[in-house]
């Protein structure tokens, strides 16, 4: 009897640990060798410089990019993989920003990371020292294809670490061409004209119910408030010029300074004026409760005329199926400066940093910094790049095409999204909440000093 009991006990425990074992082994499986033929394939003329690898190396890339954008990314290097024999393993992860630092410290970083902000690249470089300087072939590409502004964002203490990848241009004012035509309003060329147009629209006698000239939304889940930081950045750059902008982004010019206050006041003239906002939705406070991308919808209903948003608005589902062109459903003009023909714009983009300099990693990095890649990716739609070798005709919409031209124009003063360059406690924290509180009725002074006091010491 004794041994029967023992056996039964053994079987049941075995079944239990077996189940656990299944889970454990399931986690560690995968990662078997990939094999792909490195034989020359047709259409490899552009890829000769990257060499061919007969040992079929793997290169792991990770970034925040997921879904359709990730599929397009993978497509953009399919031909490269075929021609070089390199297999690129891409992982898109929405928590990339919070994980890459730990991965780098723990030695589990991918071969290549696409950093969505130069600030993050800098903090990974400075705290871990695991990012390797860009190889010569990449530096050569950067010098050839990118402007000095863009090179600077991937350069830390004089060493070039990363080449730019894609880009977006911020500060577009979206409108309905038919609406503006009916109102007899021309595209404003200065900020004063913009305000005069706004006033004319607000006081027009035949406005529909609930109409206000501007519509805006700050709601974006945990990141609520970021669309407002874009507004402020645009005004700081246009009212104070690039030098003040740089000092502000690095923390030497305080939020509570006259320059930055001027920018807040300029934005507040629109966003805090109950006669100017929030078209089709409600009062000033309703800006906070409106989802940022959905807030553009009232333009189509005729209850709002202007919406401030970046070039990537075109890829948002709120604009799906809309004809975005000069005479279509929607179009956009660049937020003007104090003078006509101002040429300062803000924007954002990704940066390609590597954690080793294996030949295959270098080849992928070099390819991603080339004009070949930029054209391949932009052709697939949805994004643009500041790469000077990019043919604007490859852009998928007139706005994208216009953005590419702005980025490639040697006269353009480009500045990277300042909140991305600020420490996370400000750029992803108090600046966002400050905007939300300001819209919600807190006084400007209290908001600005709260942001200043949250700036980390050292």
Q: Provide the binding-site residues for another protein, judged by CB under 8 A.
A: 6, 9-10, 13-14, 17-18, 20-22, 24-26, 29-30, 32-37, 71, 74-75, 78, 98, 127, 209-210, 221-225, 278, 280-283, 285-286, 288-289, 303, 380, 423-425, 428-430, 433, 436-437, 440, 450, 456
Judge contact between 248 and 427, C-beta under 8 A.
Answer: no
Judged by DSSP in three states, 60 sits in strand
Question: In angstroms, what is the minimal distance from the CB of 184 to another protein?
Answer: 25
* Residue 24 burial (10 A CB sphere; 0-12, 13-18, 19+): exposed
Three-state DSSP state, 101: helix
Contacts of residue 162, defined as CB under 8 A and 6 or more positions apart, other chains included, come to 115, 121, 131, 134, 154, 351, 352, 353
Distance CA 326, CA 397 (A): 11
Choice between 87 and 247, CB closer to another protein:
87
Complex with another protein: residue 241 or 423, whichever CB lies closer: 423
Nearest distance in Å: CB 210, another protein: 4
Q: What does the alpha-carbon distance between residue 41 and residue 11 come to, in Å, rounded to a whole number?
A: 56
Cα–Cα distance for residue pair 290/326, rounded to 1 Å? 27
Closest distance between another protein and the C-beta of residue 127, in Å? 7
Q: How far apart are CA 310 and CA 300, in angstroms?
A: 18
138 within 8 A of 365, measured Cβ to Cβ: yes
Query: For residues 172 and 214, which CB has a smaller minimum distance to another protein in the complex?
Result: 214
46-371-311-409 Cα dihedral, nearest 10 degrees = -140
Nearest distance, CB of residue 3 and another protein, angstroms: 10
Reduced to 3 states (helix: H, G, I; strand: E, B; else coil), residue 170 is coil
The residue among 4 and 33 lying less far from another protein, judged by its C-beta, is 33
Q: 33 vs 42, which CB is nearer to another protein?
A: 33
In the complex, the smallest distance separating the C-beta of residue 131 from another protein, rounded to whole angstroms, is 17
Smallest gap from Cβ 97 to another protein, in A, equals 9
Interatomic CA distance for residues 9 and 319, integer angstroms: 63
Closer to another protein by Cβ: residue 186 or 209: 209
- Closest approach, Cβ 146 to another protein, in A, equals 29
Residue 396's φ and ψ, nearest 5 degrees, are: -90, -10
Return d(Cα 363, Cα 381) in angstroms, integer: 24
Minimum gap (Å) between residue 243 Cβ and another protein: 28
Indicate the residue among 177 and 251 with the shorter CB distance to another protein: 251
Q: Which is nearer to another protein, 232 or 281 (CB)?
A: 281
CB 220 to another protein: min, Å: 8
DSSP state of 62: E
Q: Please report the beta strands in 268-365, taking only residues with DSSP state E, as ranges in sequence order.
A: 307-309, 331-334, 344-354
Read off the DSSP letter of residue 214: B
Cβ distance to another protein smaller for residue 265 or 283: 283
């Amino acid at each position: 009897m004794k041994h029967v009991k023992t056996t039964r006990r053994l079987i049941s425990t075995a079944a239990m640990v077996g189940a656990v074992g299944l889970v454990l082994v399931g986690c560690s499986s995968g990662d078997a060798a990939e094999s792909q033929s490195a034989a020359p394939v047709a259409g490899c003329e552009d890829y000769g410089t990257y060499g061919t690898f007969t040992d079929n190396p793997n290169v792991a890339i990770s970034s925040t990019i997921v879904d359709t954008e990730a599929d397009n990314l993978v497509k953009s290097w399919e031909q490269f993989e075929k021609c070089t024999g390199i297999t690129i393993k891409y992982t898109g992860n929405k928590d990339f920003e919070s994980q890459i630092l730990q991965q780098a410290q723990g030695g589990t970083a991918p071969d290549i990371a696409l950093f969505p902000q130069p600030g993050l690249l800098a903090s990974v470089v400075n705290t871990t020292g695991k990012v390797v300087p860009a190889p010569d072939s990449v530096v050569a590409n950067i010098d050839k294809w990118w402007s000095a502004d863009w090179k600077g964002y991937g350069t830390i203490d004089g060493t070039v670490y990363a080449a730019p990848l894609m880009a977006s241009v911020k500060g577009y004012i979206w409108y309905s061409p038919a609406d503006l035509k009916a109102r007899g309003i021309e595209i404003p060329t200065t900020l004063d004209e913009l305000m005069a147009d706004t006033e004319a629209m607000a006081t027009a006698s035949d406005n529909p119910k609930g109409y206000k000239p501007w519509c805006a939304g700050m709601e974006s889940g945990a990141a609520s408030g970021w669309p407002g930081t874009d507004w402020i950045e645009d005004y700081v750059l246009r009212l104070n010029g690039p030098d003040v902008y740089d000092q502000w982004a690095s923390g030497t010019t305080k939020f509570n300074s006259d320059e930055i206050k001027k920018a807040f006041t300029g934005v507040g003239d629109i966003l805090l004026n109950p006669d100017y906002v929030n078209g089709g939705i409600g009062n000033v406070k309703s800006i906070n409760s409106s989802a940022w991308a959905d807030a553009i919808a009232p333009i189509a209903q005729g209850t709002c005329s202007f919406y401030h948003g970046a070039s990537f608005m075109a890829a948002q589902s709120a604009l799906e199926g809309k004809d975005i062109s000069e005479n279509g459903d929607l179009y956009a003009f660049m937020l003007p400066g104090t003078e006509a023909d101002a040429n300062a714009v803000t924007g954002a983009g990704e940066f390609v940093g590597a954690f080793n300099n294996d030949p295959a990693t270098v080849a992928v990095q070099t390819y991603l910094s080339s004009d070949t890649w930029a054209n391949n990716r932009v052709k697939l739609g949805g994004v643009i790049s500041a790469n000077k070798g990019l043919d604007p005709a490859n852009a998928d919409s007139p706005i994208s095409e216009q953005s590419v031209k702005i980025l490639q124009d040697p006269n353009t003063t480009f500045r990277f999204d300042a909140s991305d360059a600020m420490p996370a406690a400000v750029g992803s924290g108090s600046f966002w909440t400050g905007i939300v509180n300001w819209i919600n009725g807190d006084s400007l002074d209290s908001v600005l000093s709260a942001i200043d006091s949250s700036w980390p010491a050292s």
